[in-house]
Structure 1
Amino acid sequence: MPDLYSRRSFIAGVLTAGMLSTAAGYLFTRRTPVTLTLVTGADSTGARDLLINLWNRFHPDVTIEVVEVNSSTADQYDKFVSTKADIYNLDIIHIPRFSARGRIAPIDRPEGLTLLAPVQRASQVGDGSAQLWAVPFNTDVGMLFRRIRDKTVADPEPALDQVIAATGELAGPLAGQLASEASTTDEAFVINVLEQALAQDSRILDDKGVVSTSLGQWQDALAPLKEAMLGKRIVAVSGEENTNDAFQDRTLRYMRNWPVWYPRIDREERAKPDTAAVRIGRLPIGILGGQSLAVAGDTAHREEAEAVIQFLTGMPAQKLLATYGFAPTGQEAYNDAEVKAAMPHLEKVRSAVEGAHPRPMNEGYADFSRVVRQHTYDYLRRPDAELTETFVEQIQEALK
């Protein structure tokens, strides 16, 4: 469908032009120019750099310098705080640790932005508070990609448990991030395990991020995944791009990945003679992800940092980010007629985000993630391995 992708490019261009006037609306008059340091991980899409360049073009007295820190989820806190910053771009799970240790300061939500409920809950200072610890730059949630070979055949959207059960016409195989080669891919493995567990038992992790400490629940929830892994019904790979490669190179039917990959995967797969389309659907309950921008607690330029964050996360920016494949954080972007026409799959993404559960929003999350990784990795691969009481005891210890 070349028209769809031409439309996306056109909308992106129109939004970029519109952002120029938005950037110009933040006026600063300073005798001494200041450069704000934004500490962040990498962005392969180019969307973030585009927004920053737009800001810098209109604000020669208040410019943004990006410092990319190569970090995994496990070591992001230590690496970020060892780098002098005015603004942090945080993975959602790091907000509690940064706020508990006074590393970030509360900030007002951008005007005209109505955050999706799970996104707001994960960011706000407290129940009912109008302030946020960090303003969401984008949100994210795992999605189920599926290959369509014949559009004339009925295409019922499958549930994740049907995909891995190898029963009926909706059976897999499924490519997912259920392997890990290093600390950089450990968190993807943990997220995939949690999503598979939630597909069997929604009580494993509730919508506030409270995790079950019932060993029996965990055993029942992960038993189907273990059976599918041992039965070779899952193609377990490490990392998002390796999952894309497995899905495409082996022409697999299903893949679990993030929605930011959808435009590229869909465009490339449509060129194959045996693929009519790639579609995405929601998981029963996905894991909430995303990045958020926070003001460093010790910055000497709080007013300027807040203005930058308001610009980078406001509604015009959200619409622009959507054209690059990101999941917007605000209701208004999903309701925008032009965005809906250019990216019709976003309605599925919105449904998935609204039904997503956060990981435990706890300062001890890194220890929790390590416990899940250590206890479930071998369990899923060895027929004789079992989950024991030590597993749930260590979860309780990590999150106490």
Structure 2
Amino acid sequence: MPDLYSRRSFIAGALTAGMLSSTAGYLFTRRAPVTLTLVTGVDNTGGRNLLINLWNRFHPDVTVEVVTVNSSTQDQYDKFVSTPADIYNLDVIHIPRFAARERITPLRPPDGITLLPPVQRVSQVREDAAQLWAVPFNTDVGMLFRRVTDKTVADPEPTLDTVIAGNRQFTGQLNTEGSVTDEAFVINVLEQALAQDRTILDERGVVSTSLGQWQRALRPLAEALRGNRIVTAAGEENTNAAFTKDTLRYMRNWPVWYPAIDRGEREKAGTVAIRLGRLPIGILGGQGLAIAESSEHREEAQAVIHFLTGMPAQKLLATYGFAPTAQEAYNDPEARAAVPHLDIVRSAVEDAHPRPMHAGYADFARVFRQHTYDYLYRRVELTDGFVEGMQRALQ
């Protein structure tokens, strides 16, 4: 495969050159230096920080200071709004709550960007589809990693049913150790349910409230767990560790982990490749950059956001494993050469279903996690209280 890691330097160089031709006019219009605060979660790849450093290098009068806030689905809203900010980097599931509480202001995406339809839907302002509550920084979707030991042998993508029916050759975020890993558990359980019934959570995030439908959709997963056929893990990093330590055949994780997993696993004797495949229907993830309603520097904040989400930035982020948000990035020859599995990721994103896009999502996730965990691990049957709790959360 192409040398993914040297391609980063090449694309970063091209991005830097492009900036040089577009910065001077903007800089000469500044009267006083401005420092913008970007509040965000942890960057595990370094890609986001590289882009911000490039911006700061060529915009000394409008610099970005990153404030990293460790948060979970349950507390991101409270932690973020208690931190003064000009720009928020929001998980897509938090956008509705920030919008409903008037914490962010609409803006337009950068020119030359055609967002993939599912990515557009979760960010757009309903009254004006041309405006977004947050410009997607990256999108995301659950993927199936698989270890290849012999490239001469046919290796068709398996079904998820086949994978969980195997003998402890699959691992995913199907356990939890508290609030930090609860959301990963919720997403993985939703994906397992969608593998059985694609209508249980539709393409707009509307969740079924049929108890019988949920009981049928989760029964195969419950049987696999009770039969000890799955290596469960809590959180993404622990899943990676189980996959590598035990040399497992399959893993559910996000594509952003692919560069690190691929680089390490190809050094193992007996592993010739790590490939990405689709789940039947993955859960849509990702982050979006939003302007804080309280910011006194909206024009400057929008310029930063447009730089961080434009085509050159998306090409660079793709080499770090991030799934691009725009159709143009998936069609770009340089990006395709650097990341050969882009077509598979695009297909998965276009068919992905979002979680319920509702200001009450955190309450929904709490209810969903409690009832499904009790069912899967404590053999407590799902009852009407499960669907009634979801309904109350999403009223």
* TM-score > 0.5 by shorter chain: yes
Letter in 2 for 1:27: Y
| 1:153 alignment partner in structure 2 | 153
| Deviation sequence 1:337-365 (CA, Å, 0-9, x none) | 01101110111100000000000000100
Structure 2: runs of 5 or more not aligned: none
C-alpha distance in structure 2 between counterparts of 1:279 and 1:128, whole Å: 40
RMSD: 1.5
Note if contact 1:137-1:313 (Cα within 8 Å) is conserved in structure 2.
yes
CA distance in 2, matches of 1:117, 1:315: 17
2:389 to 372, 391, 394: 394
Q: Do the aligned partners of 1:180 and 1:238 also contact (CA within 8 Å) in 2? A: yes
Matches of 1:357 and 1:313, distance apart in 2: 22
Cα distance in 1, alignment partners of residues 186 and 14 from structure 2: 36
Amino acid at match of 1:14: G
**Cα separation, partners in 2 of 1:185 and 1:6, compared to 1, 3 Å:** closer
Match of 1:65 in 2: 65
Find the counterpart in structure 1 of residue 10 from structure 2.
Answer: 11
Counterpart of 1:33 in structure 2 is 33
Cα distance in 2 between the residues matched to 1:25 and 1:215: 60
* 2:210 is the alignment partner of 1:214: yes
| Deviation for aligned residue 1:46 | 1.0
Identical residues among aligned pairs (%): 70
CA distance in 2, matches of 1:356, 1:255: 18
Q: Aligned residue for 1:349?
A: 345
Q: Contact 2:175–2:234 (CA<8 Å) still a contact in 1?
A: yes
Q: Distance in 2 between matches of 1:17 and 1:64?
A: 17
Q: Show the counterpart of 1:225.
A: 221
**Secondary structure at 2:175's aligned position in 1?**
coil
Secondary structure of 2:3's aligned partner = helix
Give the corresponding residue for 1:181: 177
Matches within 5 A, 1:1-400: 3-5=2-4, 7-21=6-20, 24=23, 27-28=26-27, 29-126=29-126, 129-166=129-166, 173-382=169-378, 384-400=379-395
CA contact (8 A) 1:23 1:54 kept: no
Deviation at 1:322, TM superposition (A): 0.6
Change (3 A) 1:181 1:155: same
Aligned partners of 1:95 and 1:216: how far apart in 2? 31
Contact residue 11 and residue 323 of structure 1 kept, 8 A: no
- SS of 1:107 mapped into structure 2: coil
- How many residues end up aligned between the 2 structures? 394
Q: Structure 1: which 5+ runs fail to align?
A: none
Cα deviation for residue 325 of structure 1 reads 0.9
- Are the structure 2 counterparts of residues 26 and 131 from structure 1 closer, same or farther at C-alpha, using a change threshold of 3 Å? farther
Q: CA deviation at 1:23?
A: 5.9
Q: Give the Å deviation of 1:128.
A: 5.7
Q: Which amino acid aligns with 2:33?
A: P
Q: CA deviation at 1:203?
A: 0.8
Q: Provide the C-alpha distance between the structure 1 equivalents of 2:21 and 2:314, rounded to a whole number of angstroms.
A: 13
- The C-alpha deviation readout for 1:225-282, integer Å capped at 9, x for no partner, is 0001111111111111110010000001100000011111112111111111111101
> Which amino acid letter does the alignment assign opposite residue 329 of structure 2?
A
Supply the AA of the counterpart residue of 1:359.
Answer: R
- The amino acid of 1:329's aligned partner reads T
User: Which consecutive segments of 4 or more residues in structure 1 shift more than 4 A?
Assistant: none
Q: Give the C-alpha shift of residue 49 in structure 1.
A: 1.0
- Does the 8 Å contact 2:4/2:319 carry over to 1? no
Q: TM-score, normalised by structure 2?
A: 0.97
Give the CA deviation at 1:25. Answer: 6.0
**Contact 1:15/1:320, CA 8 A, preserved across alignment:** no
CA distance in 1, matches of 2:280, 2:74: 27
Distance (Å, rounded) in 2 between the aligned partners of 1:6 and 1:194: 33
Q: C-alpha displacement at 1:59, in angstroms?
A: 1.4
Paired residue type of 1:386: E
Return the offset for 1:16: 3.7
CA displacement 1:144-167 (0-9 Å, x = unmatched): 00111111111010111221123x
Decide whether the 8 Å contact of 1:39 with 1:80 is kept in 2.
yes
| TM-score of the two chains, using structure 1 as the length reference | 0.95
Q: Is the 8 A contact 2:170 2:248 kept in 1?
A: yes
Seen in structure 2, the aligned counterparts of structure 1 residues 323 and 219 have a Cα distance that, compared at 3 Å, is same
